[in-house]
Chain A
Amino acid sequence: MRELRFDGVSVRFGSRGHRVTAVDGVDLTVPAGSVVGLVGESGSGKSTLARAAVGLVPLSAGRVTLDGAPVPTRGRRPLQMVFQDPYSSLNPRMTIGATIAEAVPRGTDRRAEVARLLALVDLPDRMTRYPAELSGGQRQRVAIARALAGRPEVLIADEITSALDVSIQGAVLNLIRDLQRTLDLTILFISHDLAVVRYVSDTIAVMYRGRIVEHGPADTVLADPQDPYTRELLASTEGRSR
């Protein structure tokens, strides 16, 4: 069980003259064993923050730590990520068994471990299938199983339901909730949908133009939003469900 911390994290793209600041001095703590929901519109920097945390995007300033230590980039990775689009996050030419096995640490019985992981995400007996034979929701569950293969303590879920049909979204959200409770995971849950974030998160952080503009317990943020953008977001979301 670990705590994920962002300290003054900034990410800038481009060279001098065309410099874009995607993430601008973000301080955010995801306490051990809790779910922090990060909500914001497209282009607000949510996904860049997630990619920076796992080392896919270099930081321009600040640091990302797990229990005070830098995130390891070699060997066993205690920080894993699930991507938005299950159609591009699985290699179309590898069976799902092989995809998951690849992420299982050396020295374990890979076959048994893959079977255990697939059972965990409620997809037994699919080891020899290819991604094309699975539906979007099933693919997303495979992606979750792969993320869990390294026995991570911290998981980043980046818009994991936005590419799915509404009828399937619920099943994936339920799975994430169950896994969080049984495995005691620390989760940073990123979404543009406030209702979805509200459903899974203990704490909510609102991101706007690269900055965290509001951060607090879910009930407080939703009942008494301080930032004008949060209020607008809340009004738009409530408007949708009268």
Chain B
Amino acid sequence: MGRVLRTPLGAAAAGTVAVVLLLAVLAPVLWTDAANAVDTGQIQQGASADHWAGTDSLGRDIFFRVLVATRLSVQLALLATALGVAVGLLLGTAPLLLGARAGRVITAAVHIAVAFPGLLLALFFAVIFGVGTTGGLLAIGFALAPGFARLTHTMVAGVAGLDYVAAARIAGVGRLRVLFRHVLPNVAEPLVVNATVAAGNALLAFAGLSFLGLGVQPPDYDWGRLLGEGLGAIYLHPEAALAPGVAVVVAGLAFNLFGEAIAKGVGLERRLGTSTSRFRRRPRVAPDPDDSAMLVVENLSVGFPGTTPVRGVSFSMRRGDAVGIVGESGSGKSLTALAVSRLVEEPGIVEAERLSFLGADLRAGEHRRLLGTSLAMVFQDPMTSFNPTMRIGRQLSEVARHHEGMDRRAAMARAVDRLAAVRLSDPERRARQYPHEFSGGMRQRAMIGMGLMGKPALIVADEPTTALDVTVQRQVLELLASIRAADDVAILLISHDITVVEQVCDRVLVMYAGRIVEDLPAAELRTGARHPYTKALLAAVPDMTTDRELPLTVIPGRPADPANLPPGCAFAPRCPLADARCATEDPELVENAGARVACWHADVPAEVIS
């Protein structure tokens, strides 16, 4: 709420709503007499110092009448909204309470009602309920109900499908309690926002009904009726019609904008900050001329407002290398891969002392062509990485047409060839199919095939097998390995699963809380790991030889929060070897005999830990 008031629009809307509500309460108390004072000597006068908006056919002051009418107008609008919301809630939640069959009938009825325009419904109900204040109230209330019912139904259906509702049901919690404890609190925000907007609409609708003579009847008066009375003489003195008109517009807009400001405020809470993405250059260290490395990353960090999830990562890869990065969620492994591919999105900031790929400095300038043809990216979810409305072959061939200027036919031939290269059977037919016709494993192969459309020197694969079944996982990993062997392509594999990395890569980088804590050959992972975190990760995963009689090794505590890191080693709070030094000093990543480790106790033998 405070956030809503801080935006100029929100503050203005909230202020106006407050003024309108205040007038609704105070105006009738203060000015009823002035508004009802008949002065036959001053009939239908224009605006003057005595009567700011002129007088009506009985010589009553229109300005005061407009002020006094605030109460009735707002009151009716709020009552109609309350009625609409109540009926809408009842209809919208009925399917949950009554079960599937009765629910379907009600939902169908609501859908039909929604199809009619609101004002038409209101007129229809006004005829049924009769002309007058009560009739208008019921008419507008019921006209609001179908829209609100549908919104409620959609929101409720979304929450009712969640596991915590299922769990409550299994636990024997009744339907009514499920509705009030689990469902409604979780859909309340959008419903409140919509009710506020609906109040604005009800105000306008009621003014419309009264204007047509179907709403408030004399001697009562609201803005709509004042507008109707003033309209007759609009060419002589327009103030009489304008004053209530302005009141309707201001109050209606205030409610609507207030509702929208709340909606925006609710949305804001789910968004990160708003600063723009930048690529900062750090002073360059002396360049290394005889550099056989294909990818060099030195002191890379990725920052977001408030946190730095990747802190000082350095590694390099040569042609044909297979390097794996393992770590838990939040360790910064995926962000490292994204930074290498220049895919970190706003508001992220990437900084590095060096970040070069095939000799090009990725920190500056445009490298779309280089990255588009020489670097391939494979993501976790192959369903979302393809456009569902385009044939697979077309999506692959676009890469070659865009980056290499091939003609359509040559590009399609290459696409078919690449689909064959990733061992999809019958590639010509497959190229004409859509992504949904592919299984998960086939889509992931096609994704790799898309990366092979250029001449990639590096494939960055971010959790490429996590969404796949175990048997398919193995095939995809074997495919990556064979592509690497055939074309001398380097592979940077990101995974939370240390056994997957071990299977494919020859080097393993272990990341914890945004830093590399250990870098060692994959072959030495089981025997030569020196960081307690690496050892614990290896022991924590059960395999087919784990002793079933013993409890599994666990890493106590919870993964480090990048926004709130301890001053010393980030792993210290969970580490069995941690001492006073670990809590205060963060160990450097030290190289020793072809491996690197960042730990004060790297020389303690494994047995002490387990």
Given A54-B170, A165-B496, A166-B497, do A90 and B164 touch, yes or no (CB 8 Å)?
A: yes
Is A102 a contact of B542 with CB atoms below 8 Å?
Answer: no
| Choice from B163, B173, B554 contacting A102 with Cβ under 8 Å | B173
12 A-B pairs with C-beta separation under 8 A: A80-B170, A83-B163, A91-B186, A99-B164, A103-B171, A167-B537, A169-B541, A174-B551, A196-B542, A198-B546, A222-B544, A233-B471
Residues of B within 8 A of A150 (CB): 171-172
A81 to B164, CA, bound (A): 11
A195 to B329, CA, bound (A): 21
Q: How does the 8 Å CB contact mask read for B90-114 relative to A, with 1 for contact and 0 for none?
A: 0000000000000000000000000
A138 interface residue (CB < 8 Å to B) = yes
Q: Which 5 A-B pairs have the closest CB atoms?
A: A103-B171, A241-B543, A41-B469, A89-B163, A170-B552
**Minimum CB distance partner of B555 in chain A:** A167
B548 interface residue (CB < 8 Å to A) = yes
Is B471 a contact of A41 with CB atoms below 8 Å?
Answer: yes
A104 to B471, CA, bound (A): 41
Q: Output the residue of B496, B541, B555 with the most chain A CB within 10 A.
A: B541
Residues of A within 8 A of B498 (CB): 166
A195 to B186, CA, bound (A): 38
Residues of B within 8 A of A236 (CB): 470-471, 473-474
B182 to chain A, nearest CB (A): 5
For the complex, count residues of B whose C-beta is within 8 A of A: 49
A183 to B173, CA, bound (A): 24
Given contacts A54-B170, A165-B559, 11 further A-B contacts (CB under 8 A): A85-B163, A102-B168, A102-B171, A102-B181, A103-B172, A135-B558, A150-B171, A166-B540, A169-B541, A239-B503, A242-B502
Chain B: residues with CB nearer than 8 A to chain A? Answer: 162-164, 166-173, 177, 181-182, 185-186, 328-329, 440, 469-474, 496-500, 502-503, 536-537, 540-546, 548, 551-555, 558-559
Is B167 a contact of A89 with CB atoms below 8 Å?
Answer: yes
A195 to B258, CA, bound (A): 56
A222 to B543, CA, bound (A): 13
Is B558 a contact of A80 with CB atoms below 8 Å?
Answer: no
**Minimum CB distance partner of A91 in chain B:** B164
Chain A positions 125-174 with a Cβ under 8 Å from a chain B Cβ: 135, 137-138, 143, 146-147, 149-150, 165-171, 173-174
B296 to chain A, nearest CB (A): 30
A193 interface residue (CB < 8 Å to B) = yes
The number of inter-chain residue pairs (CB within 8 angstroms) is: 160
Residues of A within 8 A of B171 (CB): 77, 80, 102-103, 146-147, 149-150
Is B496 a contact of A192 with CB atoms below 8 Å?
Answer: no
Is A94 a contact of B181 with CB atoms below 8 Å?
Answer: yes
A202 to chain B, nearest CB (A): 10
Given A165-B559, A236-B473, do A89 and B164 touch, yes or no (CB 8 Å)?
A: yes
A147 to B545, CA, bound (A): 31
A92 interface residue (CB < 8 Å to B) = yes
Residues of B within 8 A of A56 (CB): 166, 169-170
Q: Output the residue of B167, B543, B558 with the most chain A CB within 10 A.
A: B167
B504 to chain A, nearest CB (A): 11
A177 interface residue (CB < 8 Å to B) = yes
Is B166 a contact of A241 with CB atoms below 8 Å?
Answer: no
A42 to B503, CA, bound (A): 23
Q: How does the 8 Å CB contact mask read for A37-71 relative to B, with 1 for contact and 0 for none?
A: 00001100000000100111000000000000000
Is B328 a contact of A88 with CB atoms below 8 Å?
Answer: no
A177 to B555, CA, bound (A): 17
Chain A positions 79-108 with a Cβ under 8 Å from a chain B Cβ: 79-81, 83-85, 88-94, 99, 102-103, 105
**Minimum CB distance partner of A105 in chain B:** B172
A235 to B172, CA, bound (A): 42
Q: Output the residue of A56, A79, A149 with the most chain B CB within 10 A.
A: A56
Is B536 a contact of A167 with CB atoms below 8 Å?
Answer: yes
Is B470 a contact of A233 with CB atoms below 8 Å?
Answer: yes
Residues of A within 8 A of B543 (CB): 195, 237, 240-241
A7 interface residue (CB < 8 Å to B) = no
A152 to B185, CA, bound (A): 29
Is B166 a contact of A198 with CB atoms below 8 Å?
Answer: no
Is B166 a contact of A91 with CB atoms below 8 Å?
Answer: no
Given A41-B469, A88-B164, do A135 and B559 touch, yes or no (CB 8 Å)?
A: yes
Residues of B within 8 A of A90 (CB): 164
| Choice from A167, A193, A194, A235 contacting B559 with Cβ under 8 Å | A167
Given A42-B469, A93-B186, A170-B554, do A241 and B545 touch, yes or no (CB 8 Å)?
A: yes
Residues of B within 8 A of A79 (CB): 170
Is B166 a contact of A103 with CB atoms below 8 Å?
Answer: no
Given A102-B181, A137-B558, A193-B470, do A199 and B170 touch, yes or no (CB 8 Å)?
A: no
Residues of A within 8 A of B542 (CB): 170, 173, 195-196, 198-199
B609 to chain A, nearest CB (A): 14
A102 to B182, CA, bound (A): 11
| Choice from A93, A135, A138, A237 contacting B470 with Cβ under 8 Å | A237
A178 to B549, CA, bound (A): 11
Residues of B within 8 A of A88 (CB): 162-164
Q: Output the residue of A85, A165, A178, A232 with the most chain B CB within 10 A.
A: A165
| Choice from B170, B546, B559 contacting A195 with Cβ under 8 Å | B546
